[in-house]
Amino acid sequence: MRGESSGLIIGISIGVVIGVLLAILAFLCVRYHRKRSQIGNSSSRRTVTIPIRENGANSCTILSDSTIGPESPMKSGRNGKLFWLEGFKKNNGVSMSGIPVYPYKDLQKATYNFTTLIGQGAFGPVYKAQMSTGEIVAVKVLATDSKQGEREFQTEVMLLGRLHHRNLVNLVGYCAEKGQHILIYVYMSKGSLASHLYNESNEPLNWDVRVHIALDIARGLEYLHDGAVPPVIHRDIKSSNILLDNSMRARVSDFGLSREEMVDKHAAIRGTFGYLDPEYVSTRTFTKKSDVYSFGVLLFELIAGRNPQQGLMEYVELAAMNTDGKVGWEELVDARLDGNFDVQELNEVAALAYKCINRSPRKRPSMRDVVQVLSRVVKSRHDIKHHKKSLSAATDEVSIDMDQPENMTPVSGHRREESIDSTDTYEV
């Protein structure tokens, strides 16, 4: 009896041990297969991400809404090949990093021997270049006293070139010849956001355009934070680093200070006074939330038409005293808007900006949250317009039925078209 029960116990024990071993084996198999497929994904992702020139719309992560779109300035030609710089002869075609390299002499020719200056930044002059195809690009010649070596420059180019999004001023080529380091960018014909906010010679930006610009910038930053692999922190978000294209769509520019997420407690403070996250200044740790802080300042700048050097944040703090954080931000509004803005939208955007500049980084929204809030503002504006249009269409039809003889052509049809044109000045 005893012999039987001990045999039974041994049998059960062996069974349990075998069962456990089989379970462990199955678990290891599943993990191994998952890992293999992840490696496969990430390597295929990398091949899509680094060479930016094939179809102009690569990305790794699905972002909050339609962030990677067809609005790339690069047109896909036959076989999906890029042709917008075709007329501009490349040096060795494409570099190791996948970014087109251009001969110095071609750039010299395209900029009329570097005489077409459009601006001067901290890193050197920027020229407008007219290609033989008629295409226009911006050529940034990095200062020759730059300490940056060849290897660092190649790294920088690789970092810039793998980032491609319709709300970024994309790098389209570079040149490293005759001791020069030159970056070639998509040309932004309407210049910087700062020039539109502060140059009296420019028409004041209307409220709708300002909100759209805010959404464009937010989408560009969301891509850097959540779409790029590895993520990129811009580190110098400000109105002069936002450029506008011909249809007033905004793109984030100047990645000179961009670096992959890192902590360097000994590095000097970088960025622009007034936009700097106070938490970064005290801890020297720059995070995505530091970009969110700078973006919050920029949102207030769009609302107030005033920059931090003009006491923007003091005005914000004063206005905040009369609000509960959510409503009552009207006193901050740019006088150049002449009262033409939607109060509810203003309060929603200002409340969002106030969250972005919260002292505590944890309490700030992510750029993904910001995109969602701003998209909602734009969408509800759009819905209201459509609702109003269909209401006025219905009213028109009633008045046609009531007032007009059946055989008369409805004049109101023409009027309705006019009103559609005048309200939809800025399509999403």
Give the residues lining the site for ligand ATP (CB under 6 A). Answer: 118-123, 126, 138, 140, 169, 185-188, 191-192, 240-241, 243, 253-254
Integer Cα distance of 305 and 296 in angstroms? 14
Q: CB–CB of 236/257 below 8 Å? A: yes
Residue nearer to ligand ATP on the CB measure, 56 or 365: 56
Q: Which two tokens stand for residue 146?
A: 């730059």
Nearer to ligand ATP, 140 or 162 (CB): 140
Q: How is the chain split among helix, strand and coil, in percent rounded to 5?
A: 50, 10, 40
User: For the chain, how many helices (H) and strands (E)?
Assistant: 11, 9
Among residues 176 and 188, whose Cβ is nearest to ligand ATP?
Answer: 188
322's CB contacts (< 8 A; 6+ apart) are 328, 331
Owner of token pair 């922190």: 233
CB of 56 to ligand ATP, least distance (A): 16
Q: What SS3 class is residue 95? A: coil
> Catalytic: 245?
no
Report the residue number, 229 or 257, with the smaller CB distance to ligand ATP. Answer: 257
| Torsion angles phi and psi, residue 110, rounded to 5 | -70, -20
Strand order of the β-sheet with 117-121 is: 117-121, 124-130, 136-141, 180-186, 171-177
Q: Which of 414, 207, 381 is nearest to 302 (CA)?
A: 207
Q: Catalytic: which of 106, 208, 216, 236?
A: 236
Q: Considering the complex, state which of residue 171 and residue 319 has its C-beta at the smaller distance from ligand ATP.
A: 171
Compute the least distance from the CB of residue 204 to ligand ATP, in Å: 19
Q: What is the DSSP letter of 82?
A: B
- According to DSSP, residue 425 is labeled S
Cα separations in angstroms, 227 against 99, 232, 252, 324: 19, 9, 15, 34
Nearest distance from C-beta of residue 198 to ligand ATP, angstroms = 12
**CA dihedral sign, ordered 242, 243, 245, 251:** negative
**R_g of the chain, CA atoms, integer Å:** 28
Q: Of the two residues 120 and 309, which places its CB atom closer to ligand ATP in the complex?
A: 120
C-beta closer to ligand ATP: residue 188 or 209: 188
Q: Which residue's CB is nearer to ligand ATP, number 120 or number 360?
A: 120
- Give the DSSP H or E segment for 363: none
User: Which residues are within 8 A (CB) of 214 and not within 5 positions of it... i.e. 6 or more apart?
Assistant: 298, 299, 302, 349, 374
- Nearest approach, Cβ of residue 237 and ligand ATP (Å): 10
Closest CA to 130 of 187, 191, 72, 190: 187
Partners of 263 in the beta sheet?
A: 285
At its nearest, how many Å lie between ligand ATP and the CB of residue 385?
Answer: 32
d(CA 80, CA 55): 6
Residues taking part in catalysis: 236
